[in-house]
Copies of this chain bind each other. A is one copy, B any other.
């Protein structure tokens, strides 16, 4: 079975944004110690506070990383897509998982067990530099997220989400205009950690302005450029 083949795993790692720049020997080591694993849709991968088994390199599907509040509310932090990695912080510091994490559909991953991960790093400490820079990337993203939550109103967060989705849609869209995102408004609300009626109100507003068109289970982008403008408007200072 290809999934148990170290060469196959090496190929995966070579295609991964976070691993591909490592030296060849390190990659081979990681390929050797990693294991294939499949999660079913909705299956729990880690609970907040519990140390996870190791690093997960997403191959197919997606991993949803969120915090559940006692009252049932949920803040979705990220939807980790194929080519990215989950669990780096916990793998390095050995503490509990930062978020409650589940598979967002049927999801295939490579598991790099924490102990083996650390052994490789300790044997070649220069690799730490690479992962430290990765952590920096994450940190910058997290800081931005805080800023956005505190400063950016729903309308703009929605516009940004739509732009991002349109730009990274699996279909690959001509230039955004006319693209139809097949999502329910509830799903969009979850991504923004907002209430569904609020999202509906803002979507309606965008529709009145002619920027989008709403359908039964979808949103069609009509004026991609103007949507983009909304993101920039009144947002953070240009950097």
- Residues of A participating in the B interface, judged by any CB pair closer than 8 Å: 48-49, 67-71, 73, 75, 77, 89, 92-93, 95-96, 98-100, 121-122, 125-126, 128-129, 131-133, 135-140, 142-143, 145-147, 149-151, 193, 234-239
Contact = CB atoms under 8 A, between A and B. Distances in A.
A107 to B, nearest CB: 21
Nearest to A133: B93
12 contacts: A48-B236, A48-B237, A69-B236, A70-B237, A89-B136, A98-B140, A99-B143, A125-B125, A125-B128, A128-B132, A135-B139, A142-B145
The 6 A-B residue pairs whose C-beta atoms are closest, nearest first, are A49-B239, A128-B128, A142-B142, A125-B125, A135-B135, A93-B136
A237 to B, nearest CB: 6
A51 to B, nearest CB: 11
A68 B137 CA distance: 21
Count the copies: 2
Contacts of A133: 92-93
Given A126-B125, A142-B142, A146-B146, A151 B99 contact: no
A75 B239 CA distance: 16
Nearest to A144: B98
Contacts of A48: 236-237, 239
Contacts of A69: 151, 234-237
Nearest to A140: B98
Given A132-B128, A142-B142, A146-B149, A234 B95 contact: no
B67 A136 contact: no
A238 B125 CA distance: 35
A75 B129 contact: no
A155 to B, nearest CB: 14
Contacts of A135: 132, 135-136, 139
Nearest to A93: B136
B67 A236 contact: yes
Contacts of A89: 136, 139-140
Contact of A150 (B75, B142, B237): B75
A96 B149 CA distance: 21
